[in-house]
């Protein structure tokens, strides 16, 4: 089944970041930085509490690209990120991808993505591209 894509087409994934998410990510990656895993340590930082790993939240865009837009078969080939605000345990964030251009056929060529934390000014990660599914 072939899907038709259009410039401006968007898809999103929303997730509330849990303490389990942070610990599982720390275990998988080996990033046991106490800013993420130790509340007593984190209280002494300028964040005043533990924060989620930046790549945990930025990684949600992979779910959008690989499962929704363009979808299964997509190979995520690159990303440019700027972290503008921390993600705390309990925050609900939304990762959104938008098709910016199409290749020579009807497949997306580049996608802009945005990660937004409602209610937190500047709570965004931006940028990136994925390759379209084989087709």
| 94 pLDDT above the threshold of 80 | yes
Asked whether residue 100 is assigned to any structural domain, the reply reads yes
pLDDT mean across residues, the chain: 80
pLDDT for 2 equals 59
Provide the domain count of the chain. Answer: 1
pLDDT for 129 equals 47
First to last CA, the chain: 10
Asked whether residue 109 is assigned to any structural domain, the reply reads yes
Predicted confidence (pLDDT) per residue in 29-86, tens digit: 999 999 999 999 999 999 999 999 999 988 888 898 889 988 888 877 777 777 888 8
pLDDT band with cut points at 50, 70 and 90 for residue 104: low
CATH number for position 78: 3.10.129.10
pLDDT average, residue stretch 86-99: 88
Asked whether residue 114 is assigned to any structural domain, the reply reads yes
- Count other C-beta atoms under 10 Å from residue 48's C-beta: 10
Asked whether residue 107 is assigned to any structural domain, the reply reads yes
The residue range of the domain holding 80 is 10-17+53-131
Asked whether residue 110 is assigned to any structural domain, the reply reads yes
Asked whether residue 31 is assigned to any structural domain, the reply reads no
Asked whether residue 116 is assigned to any structural domain, the reply reads yes
pLDDT for 15 equals 93
Check whether the bond before 70 is cis (ω within 30° of 0).
yes
pLDDT for 107 equals 56
Asked whether residue 45 is assigned to any structural domain, the reply reads no
> What is the C-alpha to C-alpha distance for residues 28 and 87, in angstroms, rounded to an integer?
19
């Amino acid at each position: 089944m072939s899907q038709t894509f259009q410039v401006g087409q968007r898809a999103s994934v929303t997730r509330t970041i849990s303490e389990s998410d942070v610990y599982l990510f720390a275990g998988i990656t080996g990033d046991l930085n106490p800013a993420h895993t130790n509340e007593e340590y984190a209280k002494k930082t300028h964040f005043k509490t533990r924060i989620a790993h930046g790549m945990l939240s930025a990684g949600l865009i992979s779910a959008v690209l690989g499962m929704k837009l363009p979808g299964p078969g997509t190979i995520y080939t690159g990303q440019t990120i700027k972290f503008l605000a921390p993600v705390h345990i309990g925050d609900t964030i939304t990762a959104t991808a938008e098709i910016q251009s199409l290749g020579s056929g009807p497949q997306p060529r580049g996608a802009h993505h945005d990660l937004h934390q409602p209610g937190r000014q500047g709570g965004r990660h931006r940028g990136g591209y994925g390759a379209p599914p084989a087709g």
